[in-house]
Amino acid sequence: MTDAPRSREQRRADTLALLTTPAIDVWMSTSSIDEDGTAAPYLVPLSLAWLENRVVIAVEERSRTARNLINSGRARLALGPTRDVVIIDAELERALPVQQAPAEIVEGYAGQADWDPRGDDGYLYLVLRPIRIQAWREADEIKGRTLMRDGRWL
């Protein structure tokens, strides 16, 4: 892209527009520690909802993503194509079995994602609090890429 670098305000607006897009997916990276003590990365695409400044995903309780997040509390998420990215470092705030989740999460997730985990057994909503958000397109947008730090929009 040959446009001028976007302002922080424009990147924040673009980021929020992306996060609230219907049926948007996120690349969700988590990690675990193997029996031999090695750090093991994991990465899958998942459907996201953006509810009350939180990222909400729905995953099987026994999935590796759920286990990694519950064990480590940490994820790093990417949205968008590789040359127009939003990267979010987040921490796990709540893990809610679908049957016990409040209506705003259940309905909010079903309203944005293109599926609804209420039809399946053994699913959790994982509510992630963003700690840092970065957005950039090409090299000229590396400067100014941080939009949120320590959980606060800049």
Q: Candidates 73, 97, 102, 111: give the one binding a second copy (CB under 8 A).
A: 73
Minimum Å gap between C-beta 28 and a second copy is 9
Minimum Å gap between C-beta 102 and a second copy is 27
Residue 56 φ/ψ, nearest 5 degrees: -120, 130
Angstrom distance (rounded) from CA 103 to CA 95: 15
145 binds a second copy (CB under 8 A): no
Q: Candidates 21, 31, 63, 146: give the one binding a second copy (CB under 8 A).
A: 31
Residue 76 or 107 having the CB closest to a second copy: 76
CB distance 65 to 74 below 8 Å:
no
Residue 43 or 102 having the CB closest to a second copy: 43
Angstrom distance (rounded) from CA 126 to CA 129: 10
* DSSP-derived secondary structure letter, 141: G
CB distance 88 to 130 below 8 Å:
yes
Q: Candidates 12, 76, 129, 145: give the one binding a second copy (CB under 8 A).
A: 76
21 binds a second copy (CB under 8 A): no
Element at 13 (helix H, strand E) = helix 8-19
Residues that bind a second copy in the complex, under the rule CB under 8 A: 25-27, 29-33, 37-45, 68, 71-78, 81-83, 85, 87
